[in-house]
Amino acid sequence: MKKKLLFVIPSLAAGGGERSLVNLLSQIDYSKFDVDVFLFHQVGMFLEHLPEQVSLLPHPINYRRFILPLSQSLAAFLSRGQFRLAYRRLRYAMVHRTPLSVGEREQKAWKHMAETLQGFTGVYDTAIGFLEKTSIYMCVDHIRANSKIGWIHNDYLKLETNAAFDQRYFRRLNHIVTVSDECAATLKSVFSEQSNKVSIIHNIVSPNIICRLAQHVQQDLFERRDQETVILTIGRLHSQKGLELAVEACRILLDRGLSIQWNVIGEGEERESLDRLIDRYRLGQSFRLLGLRSNPYPYLHQADIYVQTSRFEGKSIAIDEAKILNKPIVVTNFSTAKDQIRHDVDGLIVGMNAESIADGIMRLIENKELRNRLSQALSGMDLGTEDEIKKLYQLLA
């Protein structure tokens, strides 16, 4: 008999965790597993990449009313005499306006959202909260399953959450999965009582799929000017990604007389502030926010250098993908950078400031021998991680 699995994640919008889930689902043996997915928001460019064997669960009716804009939500509840849920919706909105960290706001908001997610009738062999915080809370509080897994995709200490709040949920999990050695060490340090539950499953990436998708577009996507060097960054427009450092580094490189264009694939809440910064530095022709791309691999294939300016990461899928396409890579020295890049062997790790980022890029631009050496080192590596699915199967046994 097939085992029944449920994966819970906020959405399938652009992001490393979301892409990681789609990659994982592409590797599952559907002759052995029936798989459901619950999304808090049924949106995102990765929706179209869900395998056809996966069932997307509908939203409960009260949750559909809850996620309406505030005035519409209140009207929907009040007109039906659901005064308690109207109060919860109002309190939820107020929590999100408090001066707490994003992580703590999400934790405090959960109890107000949670009532609208009651009543799931399905019973699963395993329920998996595939992203930290709300996805895990829902699996623990509202899903009936023989075992429950929480998946942490980032350095826990950078999430700015209340560890005591999470401790109550982690005690009720059977397994806690994370994506790198550094992330696992942090979890074991913060949650020492739960350290025996922590496992590492690296993000699944497939060189065959990535190389095939990279060839889908043949024309030059970047409209190069003369001998221009094309730099690419992939990531959400979010403070975590440090993109204002990228804008500043771009200005520094141009002031040094280098001919470059820097492109960013991604979308997010910092677009307006980044647009203003781009205007301030007069970079309209040199630093481009391309928005979302369902297939970023032709862009990555055609770029000369890949740069990741993050403040923190769990394990960056974009870096792994750049490695598969043998790109010279520059990354900032976030806590897990050394889990993916060996400095001066298969990439460069630089300081987390615009000057150091510019120095690293300039070094690659001016040193063709170094670029070739880094690319050759990557070309000789076995970078596929499809077998990571076997680690998940062991937890599901």
Q: How far is CA 357 from CA 60, 155, 246, in A?
A: 47, 22, 8
The domains of the chain are located at 3-205+387-396, 207-379
- Stated as kind and residue range, the H or E segment containing 132 is none
Residue 307 DSSP SS3: strand
pLDDT tens by residue, 238-286: 999 999 999 999 999 999 999 999 999 999 889 999 999 999 999 999 9
pLDDT tens by residue, 166-220: 999 999 999 999 999 999 999 999 999 999 999 999 999 889 889 988 988 767 7
Q: What is the average pLDDT value for the chain, to the nearest integer? A: 94
Q: What is the pLDDT of residue 58?
A: 94
Residue 224 has pLDDT above 90, yes or no: no
pLDDT tens by residue, 22-33: 999 999 999 999
Dihedral of alpha carbons 335, 336, 337, 343, sign: positive
pLDDT tens by residue, 140-154: 999 999 999 999 998
Residue 397 has pLDDT above 90, yes or no: no
Q: What is the pLDDT of residue 122?
A: 87
CATH number, span 207-379 = 3.40.50.2000
Tokens 């928001």 belong to which residue?
Answer: 41
Please check whether the domain covering 3-205+387-396 is classified as CATH 3.40.50.2000: yes
pTM for this model (two decimals):
0.86
Q: Which residues of 35-62 are buried (b: 16+ CB within 10 A; e: fewer)?
A: bbbbbbeeebbbbebbeeebeeeebeeb
Q: How far apart are CA 21 and CA 58, in angstroms?
A: 19
